[in-house]
Structure 1
Amino acid sequence: MAQRMRVVVGVSGSPAGPAALHRAVAEARRAGGGAEVLALHAWEPPGGAPGYLRSPCPPLLSAVRAAAEQRLDEALAAASGGAGFDGVPVTARCVRGAPAAALLAAADRGADLLGLGAAGSWWRRGLRGSVPARCVRAARCPVLVLPGPPAAGRAGRAGRRRPGRGAVRAGRARMSAGSPARGLPVDLSAALALLTGAGTAAALGLLGELRPGWFALTAFAAGCAALGGRSRPAAAPLIGLAAWLFHNGFAEHRHAELGWSGPAAETGRLALLIAAALLGTLGATAARRAR
């Protein structure tokens, strides 16, 4: 009995993600015979599996999982426009694990088709490695890699005259009217949150203030608000959790060892840091829309 075709598509939030999802739906529709699409998003706790095993934190894990599920839901809603996929069955699945390993495990039949967006910018490749390259080397089924949206051509910019102030203002007005205010991608904000937490802990250590108290907590909250000002609201929980991780491990309990001072104390600190990040994101979003 012939296997029914299944198109597994990786959804990572990259610029090529919507194109890969649309192409996966088109391939399933072309194949017919009840072909289906599996939209898969892989996520890992901050620091990866080894880091989490060393310092487990269930609240952090739950928040990261919830953020990953939200990213997947938003990607599907944006790709479908809220109108579905014209009768093609699309199943969403959020999997904990490395992206390449999760995709290869899902597309494990010869009748499958694995669809991926291109690796993206250099910082994505540096943080995660090239997921498409790994899948092409190890997949048991055909792999389709879709490029991202074309960037502005460098050759076209050569010799182009600088627009006047009036044209710049008009362009900004069109951008504000025609597209929603955006910030940094959520995964980039999460990575920067870890760097911000480490930098804040190092600065407090140099000042001799890396110890329990309001000074350290205020410094971490200020870092959350500053990074939140460059991020999207969906990133606020991850920014706050990263700050809580460093505050708990270095200011409250020292030596990078997480501890639990009680539900009221730890939940209060976590809520404060997330609120600081959320206020930063909402304030910056409102300012970008007002321009």
Structure 2
Amino acid sequence: MTTPRRPAVEDVADAAGRLAVLLAAGVPPGAAWGYLSESVDLAETTGDARRCLTVTDAVIRAAAGAAQRGGDVPRAIAAAADAAAPGTKHRSTRRRNTDVQEAWRGLGVALQVATESGAPLAEALRDLASSLRDLGQTQRDRETALAGPRATARMVLALPAVGILFGAGLGFDTLHVLVATPAGLSCLAAGAALLLAARAWNRALLRRARPRQRMPGLAIEVVAVAMTGGGSAPGALRRVADACARFDLAPPDPAAVDSVLALAQRAGVGTVELLRAEAEQARRDARSSAQATSAALGVRLMAPLAVCVLPAFMLLSVAPLVMSILSSTLHGM
């Protein structure tokens, strides 16, 4: 039984949490990054054959080097994430690389905003680590919810092959009929075209079921970080929007922030906690949306099954079997 792959965002959450602990203990930022880099070096020299250099390892090393030189740590983080997660033709690997890039860019935005606004860096990183872990759990729930529809899509595509083997097991030369007779070749071409269409259709349905926003609520969480520095709400929103633009991330929704600010003014309560509650609600909504989407996907996958896979099953399995039976009967006569 394979173990589900750990969401890449949780690696970033671990790094942010460890950095927050070190900073809260009074360790300077440059030294804290250095300790994290030493941990990477130590893990790499333990001789564990199952472990290889990850994107997170490369980013931590780059950030430690920039911090020790007094350079731009957030920019070094973004550059290292892009360099360590190159493009690939494999869809799942490319998607995971994009996830880890966006997670590290989110950390870079939080570091820049906390530094510019004067917010306590250790507290900001601790809050960010907590939100990233929530996002990781949301991704786990989403992958679990989509596991059933994916398995269904793979299973129905195997039906024609099972039918061919079943016919051969009964003693009929269905494979010979498919590849050595004109009628069989016609069935083979039509059935293969239908299977290719079903495969493309299934992939399109699975692709549409994936969320467009990989890290819901993170930008609003960073606005809360900016406001802990004592700045005004418009200034915090502008600062976060500028940082998101610098790191090529989606900016916070001004309408959502404005609604929270209006509620805080009417109720006379703290804006920061309301913003964090709004970010948490966005993550809960994303989790519920993933569950609803996966339930609907299970029904939508019946369309390619009925339109493409079942006709392909008839062409590739039933028709050759019938032709083989008729050929044997006529030959026996």
**What TM-score, normalized to structure 1?**
0.27
- Larger relative contact order (C-alpha < 8 A, sep ≥ 6)? 2
More helix by share: 2
Larger radius of gyration: 2
Instruction: Point out the structure with the larger strand share.
Output: 1
